Amino acid sequence: MQHFEIVGGNRLKGTIPISGSKNAALPIMAASILVEGETVLHNVPDLADVRQLQILLGRLGVKAERDESGAMHLRVEDEMNTHAEYELVSKMRASVCVMGPLLAKRKRAQVSMPGGCAIGDRPIDLHVQGLQALGADFEFVNGDVLLRVKKLAGADIFLGGPFGASVTATANVMMAASLAAGHTIIESAACEPEVVDLANYLNACGAQITGQGTPQIAVEGVETLTGTEHRVIPDRIEAGTFMISAALTNGDLELEGGRIEHLRAVVDRLRQVGVIVERAEKGIAVSSARRLEPVQITTQPYPGFPTDLQAQAMALLCLADGNSMITEKVFPDRFLHVGELNRMGAHLRKAGPTVMIEGVKKLVGAPVMASDLRASAALILAGLIAKGTTRVHRVYHIDRGYEAIERKLAGVGANIRRRDD
Ligand code: UD1
């Protein structure tokens, strides 16, 4: 196994290119199951999760390969298999995105229940309810969800859950409805830019989707979808993580390709903290020269503050001049980083879904480990400013969702190295 070794204290200065969005690329890759002919995707990040989905798609008869330029070509070659097995699904939750496409195109989808993960139970009841509303029969078979249908039919579907809209459930239902007979309304749909990107891709393939980016999506079913060329949107979570790295190190970064309009809630909170965030010619400019003010943050579905930046924001607020508070309203158990940040000298106290953050003057380097992607990112950020050396173990979590993070950070002055354990 590998770890990152970080010697804190360097000011970050320069330009970081923002990669394509992981959470947009994965459902769009899954959507290729629906499509006749070839899809060519540009800006697909080179990540462990993407490679994992390529393997699953391969098992499902979809050839998914990159050319020399890095573009990914996807083409269905065999429609026999409709089973996404535990061995693959358990490695990556987003595998659940094949459920809607398999059902719509092959009339049968057997997908292993993803099970619990480090950030909570993560049920898939909304996915199943939405697909049942389109006419699918549902049963459990050996820990798998089995959905079958003769012909999907459009329906009015309410997709809100106890924690609001679901991103991948909206994706699954929207993909299935694209090939259903008639008109579908998805009410309480997720508004995330990644859902909009998927809808734009499907529309370019011939789907008739409107309302993407709002809580009500309308889909007029079509007979066939035809492959197209599409460029995946930039990763707003990666951009947000690097924005926070600039804020923490008194840095001055330009995030090339970053879209400020996808990060309004984050920009709002960072400006409250005293960080300077501006639209730049090629993306987003972030600098910070003043002291950090404490703030309150509540995570919410888009356009609210993203849960995928909660851990990183906590690393920042550890060093604010006063007491901050973060409340998690999307995944109330997502606090694996709290204990690790405390080991680096933070003063954090968790009470239910809220963490009270008492700002400290400095963090100190330590060996740390986190068991999810964004928590690991938060520990790297803390390491960038901590006194001494921090070792962040279990690098494979980071490799799931950040493309070449150590190269990007080292390129703007961070002292970070990947090492074998
Ligand atoms: C997606 C993102 C993930 C992000 C999350 C929230 C991808 C591949 N992953 O995950 O990075 O953290 O959105 O922005 O895009 N829920 C239910 N029933 C369901 C489904 C979800 O109750 O059937 C609940 C969840 O437990 C959670 C909330 O709804 O509390 C939102 O989860 P959801 O939007 O579904 O997350 P994902 O789509 O899995």
Q: Write out pLDDT tens, residues 373-412.
A: 999 999 999 999 999 999 999 998 999 999 999 999 999 9
Grade residue 263 by pLDDT with cuts at 50, 70 and 90. Answer: very high
**Residue 204: how many other CB atoms lie within 10 Å:** 15
Top mutation candidate among 121, 122, 263 for ligand 1, by most atoms within 8 Å of CB? 122
pLDDT over 70 at 118, yes or no: no
Q: Which residue minimizes the CA distance to atom 12 of ligand 1?
A: 308
The mean pLDDT of the chain is 96
CA 299 from chain centre, in angstroms, equals 14
pLDDT at 120: 61
**Token reading at 280:** 């730049």
pLDDT at 402: 96
186: left (phi over 0), alpha (psi -120 to 50) or beta: beta
CA angle (18, 44, 95) in 5-degree steps: 120
pLDDT over 60 at 62, yes or no: yes
Query: Residue 50 Cα, ligand 1 centroid: separation in angstroms?
Result: 18
Contact 72, 31 (CB under 8 A): no
Grade residue 338 by pLDDT with cuts at 50, 70 and 90. Answer: very high
The reply to whether 318 belongs to the active site is no
**Residue 199: how many other CB atoms lie within 10 Å:** 24
Q: DSSP string spanning 163-186?
A: TB--HHHHHHHHHHHHTSBSEEEE
pLDDT over 90 at 121, yes or no: no
pLDDT digits (tens, 9 = 90+) for 127-141: 999 999 999 999 999
CA angle (250, 329, 291) in 5-degree steps: 20
Top mutation candidate among 330, 336, 376, 402 for ligand 1, by most atoms within 8 Å of CB? 330
pLDDT digits (tens, 9 = 90+) for 294-313: 999 999 999 999 999 999 99
pLDDT over 80 at 289, yes or no: no
What is the total residue count of the chain?
A: 421
Report the pLDDT averaged over residues 45-58: 96
pLDDT digits (tens, 9 = 90+) for 150-165: 999 999 999 999 999 9
pLDDT at 167: 97
**Token reading at 398:** 């980071």
pLDDT at 113: 82
Closest CA to 40 of 152, 150, 204: 204
pLDDT at 308: 97
Strand partners, 95: none
pLDDT at 117: 56
**Token reading at 352:** 């239910």
Amino acid occupying residue 359: G
Top mutation candidate among 93, 117, 167, 310 for ligand 1, by most atoms within 8 Å of CB? 167
Model pTM above 0.95: yes
pLDDT over 90 at 325, yes or no: yes
Q: Which residue minimizes the CA distance to atom 31 of ligand 1?
A: 166
Report the pLDDT averaged over residues 261-284: 97
pLDDT over 70 at 226, yes or no: yes
pLDDT digits (tens, 9 = 90+) for 172-212: 999 999 999 999 999 999 999 999 999 999 999 999 999 99
Q: What percent of the chain has pLDDT over 90?
A: 92
Give residue ranges with CB within 6 A of ligand 1.
Answer: 23, 26, 93-94, 122-127, 161-163, 166-169, 194, 307-308, 330-331
CA angle (386, 392, 396) in 5-degree steps: 150
pLDDT over 80 at 221, yes or no: yes
The residue written with tokens 């699904």 in the block is 89
pLDDT at 119: 56
β pairing state of 389-393 and 2-7? antiparallel
Query: Residue 303 Cα, ligand 1 centroid: separation in angstroms?
Result: 15
pLDDT over 60 at 368, yes or no: yes
Q: At what angle do helices 264-273 and 310-317 cross, to 10 degrees?
A: 10
Grade residue 371 by pLDDT with cuts at 50, 70 and 90. Answer: confident
**Token reading at 359:** 């700002």
Q: Which of 117, 191, 205, 318 is catalytic?
A: 117
Helix and strand counts by DSSP (H, E) for the chain = 14, 26
User: Quick one: CA dihedral 178, 184, 186, 191, positive or negative?
Assistant: positive
Contact 148, 137 (CB under 8 A): yes
Query: Residue 67 Cα, ligand 1 centroid: separation in angstroms?
Result: 32
Closest atom of ligand 1 to CA, residue 126:
23
Local structure of 290: helix, strand or coil: coil
